Amino acid sequence: MKKRNLFWGLFFTVIAVALFGQMFNFFTLGTSVFNLFLTALLVIFAISNLPSLNFFGIVMPLTYALYINSKFFNFDPSFWQMTFAGLLLSIGLQMIFKRPRVRVFKYNDYNDYDYSNRSEDNFGYSKKNDDFVEASFTETNSDSSGEKDSRATYEEDSNNEKVRISANFTDRTRYVRSTNFTDGSIENNFGSLRVYFDQSTFNRNGSKLYVDCNFGQIVLYLPSDLNVINNVSTTLGGIDDDFNRAHKDGPTLTIYGDVSFGNLKIIFI
């Protein structure tokens, strides 16, 4: 179980026990004590999201902590106005500041990988942006009216080893055709993004994919012979991971990142 899921599970369980206890008069919990306890949990959770710069996990808990303690600041805000303002602030900060994407993997597939020259901005490789050239892929219109060429992603060379895909407030389908997929990044904010990797060949020494989904859905279509290690964490989000039998001789893809108030779905085809 992910630590973040454990936190939210304990959080909602404690709140439920407190509410049931007061409703059935099992015990009386003073309003000030309850608010103090709730505020402490929200602040702790916000602090826990600072290292990963998960702004939804930072701003929203602090927003609700401010709301339940608004009387100390002499104002009476609307709950929905506070929520909407918190969401807008989270979106803005998420778009302005790039979250760190580098993680040290503990799996044997990456034991031979050199992490000494990592760079957070380029998927763990010490390369500059101008080392990435545009590579073509196919994009399907959301109304299924046809396909068109797109140049919105950057890749290292003609072998398409590295892929960067993003979608904000839109519905998008993309097909990745790589002869040696090694590294990638997929970001989605308030949109729906479907990415097909079934026509890609994955690096035999292992590959990794970073996903960042906020208030939307990302659907990954992966080859059935691919071994997947799912290291994605969630903040009030969900992950649907289809069962896929392990393949001894198949390549391995490690997926990591975060899903906040959204959904990640993995389908093997």
Q: Is the dihedral of CA 75, 76, 78, 79 positive or negative?
A: positive
Q: For residues 54 and 258, is the Cβ–Cβ distance under 8 A?
A: yes
pLDDT of residue 69: 82
Distances (CA, A) of 166 to 5, 6, 34, 207, 224: 26, 29, 41, 19, 24
Q: What is the pLDDT of residue 39?
A: 81
Q: Give residue 261's pLDDT.
A: 80
Predicted local confidence at residue 204, as pLDDT: 86
pLDDT reported for residue 5: 60
What per-residue confidence (pLDDT) applies to 7? 63
User: What confidence score (pLDDT) does residue 32 get?
Assistant: 65
Q: Where are the domains of the chain?
A: 3-96, 108-140+148-268
- Provide the pLDDT for residue 264: 92
What are the φ/ψ torsions at residue 41 (nearest 5 degrees)?
A: -65, -45
pLDDT of amino acid 22: 64
**pLDDT averaged over 10-residue windows placed end to end, the chain, 269 residues:** 59 71 62 72 80 80 86 81 87 73 40 38 38 38 45 39 83 87 87 89 88 88 88 81 74 88 88
Structure confidence at residue 105 (pLDDT): 38
pLDDT, residue 135, reads 36
Angle between helices 55-68 and 31-48 (to 10 degrees): 160
Looking at residue 127, its pLDDT comes to 38
pLDDT at 220: 92
Q: What is the pLDDT of residue 209?
A: 92
**Residue 131: its pLDDT value, please?**
35
Q: Which residue from 212, 226, 208 is spatially nearest to 264, judged by alpha carbons?
A: 212
pLDDT attached to residue 219: 92
Distance of CA 210 to the CA centre of its chain: 8
Nearby residues of 248 by Cβ (< 8 Å), 6 or more positions away: none
What predicted TM-score, i.e. pTM, was given to this entire model?
0.57
Specify the pLDDT at position 153: 37
Q: Considering only CA atoms, give the Rg of the chain.
A: 21
